[in-house]
Amino acid sequence: MSWGLKNRLARILNSQTGRTVMLAVDHGYFQGPTTGLENPRRTLEPLIPYADSLMLTRGVLRTSVSDDIRVPIVLRVSGGTSILKELSNEGVTTSVEEAIRLNASAVAVSIFVGGEFERQTLLNLSRLVDEGERYGMPVLAVTAVGREMNRDARYLGLATRIAAELGAHIVKTYYCEGFSKVVDGCPVPLVIAGGKKIPEEDALRLAYNAISEGAVGVDMGRNIFQSDSPVGMIKAVRAIVHEEASVDAAFKLYSESRKVMHVERTVASAESAE
């Protein structure tokens, strides 16, 4: 691994805790204006100060993120399909050269193990790893789960291990029962996605369990930006990932932040009515 690649990885994984809170806001690349992300700039602005990195496409980066931010960018570089078609039919949409131009700290590519286009997506990953090694650019493999796949330890263990074998530097997967087995079988750091929006306390428990069982962090989207208090939620997730907070303590942090947000909104709407 070159110095440049290691340095880029170190931007993403916090040097003190070795962990990371990645904010995933790339959903639009296949599902369009996702709830909570209709206006990416508006969603992102209050959250950026709390994210260790942002995972997004070049389109959202260019249009909706100010160029003076210091948060590392994990650039989504696979796509080419939509929710209306077979999701696994992805290609590489953005070159490593462009990722360097955009000052990205890593590129992200989905693999669909068991999907119709499994081979194509595994070769996308392999090609990006080759290029990434050439230019010092880490590759995050997203183990995307097709509609027909079970998110269990056997399947996720298979997908994460294949990603690591093909050279991914970080792997993103889902939390599942028996997650520590998935961690054991994957020789590179694992982060978990949050998945569909669930109650805040449950999402915090998911993050807590994943970290306790060996994940180095989260790459979470909907359970943060679709929360009734996105800032409260990202602060709570940070407390779990970086400060070993319990689920109760993190939930309290979220609830307090939510209360403050409601008070601020009430004051602002009273002032605008005057």
Q: Select the residue interacting with ligand 5RP from 58, 222, 235, 258 (CB under 6 A).
A: 222
Q: Which two tokens stand for residue 200?
A: 């805040």
Q: Which two tokens stand for residue 243?
A: 């400060």
Q: Whole-number minimum distance, CB 264 to ligand 5RP, in Å?
A: 26
Considering only residues 14 through 33, tell me which ones interact with ligand 5RP, judged by CB under 6 A.
24, 26-27
What does the per-residue mask of binding to ligand 5RP show for 84-123, with x meaning CB under 6 A?
--------------------------x-------------
Indicate whether 12 belongs to the interface with ligand 5RP (CB under 6 A). Answer: no
Instruction: Measure the CA–CA gap between 190 and 174, rounded to whole angstroms.
Output: 9
Q: Whole-number minimum distance, CB 227 to ligand 5RP, in Å?
A: 11
Q: Hey, which bits of the chain come out as E strands?
A: 20-24, 53-56, 73-76, 78-79, 91-92, 106-111, 139-143, 170-173, 190-192, 217-220
Residue nearer to ligand 5RP on the CB measure, 93 or 256: 93
The secondary element (H helix, E strand) that includes residue 249 is: helix 247-273
Q: Which stretch binds ligand 5RP (CB under 6 A): 38-46, 63-71, 149-157, 214-222?
A: 214-222
Indicate whether 52 belongs to the interface with ligand 5RP (CB under 6 A). Answer: no
CB atoms closer than 10 angstroms to residue 154 = 12
Instruction: Measure the CA–CA gap between 206 and 147, rounded to whole angstroms.
Output: 21
Q: Which two tokens stand for residue 189?
A: 């750091």
172 is catalytic: yes
Q: Which stretch binds ligand 5RP (CB under 6 A): 46-54, 67-75, 207-215, 219-227?
A: 219-227
Residue nearer to ligand 5RP on the CB measure, 224 or 273: 224
Angle at CA 37, nearest 5°, toward 32 and 42? Answer: 135
Contact footprint for ligand 5RP (CB under 6 A): 24, 26-27, 55, 110, 142, 144, 193-195, 219-223
